[in-house]
Copies of this chain bind each other. A is one copy, B any other.
């Protein structure tokens, strides 16, 4: 997963870099003030758009996109089915030890409640609130990058307009027109690169990650409800396997 993101970023910059080198050299495309306008300006606009506590997570979210936490779904199904089997044989209290060693916080919380004898409706309520809130927080995270793309593009346009106005007021020396306009276009280029390498794609992958986590949470919720109501493990497994693409469905009962 991280591999895809890293290869994608490297590939893009390698291609753009060699295109620049082939023409007038990569140095002509680097202009610190232009970069400051686009990056600083768009991050300034993001600081207006979101709360400081949300903005602080900027790099953390970026890292989640690049190096996402993984859940091994077939492993999860196996574990839930084992829990169901054990609970059916020895009672739900037999799961106490497993819960303490469980690393997935969502599963741990739900299962503890089931062992403590909470009502199924209470457990479902709590886990659903948690799922919804997690989802909402992820949406905000994705939105930061989505907005970044749009705002970087807009700041790039503002920078180009500033440069164009300066150029238009200094047309006495015709030989300066080309280079001035070239510099003016750099902010638009920076804005487009930020938007289409970091903005939209990071927004997309965060959405994919959120869908994955929501799926895992749905499966866990489904599993806990089954375990508590004492469903047959085979039925639970059939249900959980329905969440997977047909090719990945391997039953431990076959």
Residues of A within 8 A of B (CB): 1, 3-5, 7-12, 15-16, 18-20, 22-24, 28-29, 33, 36-37, 40-41, 43-52, 54-55, 65, 105, 113, 118, 122, 125-127, 129-130, 133, 136-137, 140, 143, 147, 150-151, 154-155, 157-159, 161-166, 168-171, 175, 177-179, 181-182, 185-186, 188-189, 192-193, 195-197, 200-202, 204-205, 208, 211, 235, 238-239, 242-246
B129 touches A239 (CB 8 A): yes
Complex formed: what's the CA distance from A113 to B45 in Å?
43
Give, as a whole number of angstroms, the nearest-CB distance from A108 to chain B.
Answer: 11
Contacts of A40 in B (CB 8 A): 11-12, 15
Q: How many copies does the complex hold?
A: 5
- Give bound CA distance, A186 to B48, whole Å: 24
Known: A8-B46, A9-B48, A48-B201. 5 other contacts (CB 8 A): A8-B47, A10-B44, A11-B44, A28-B165, A158-B189
Chain B residue nearest to A18 (CB atoms) is: B33
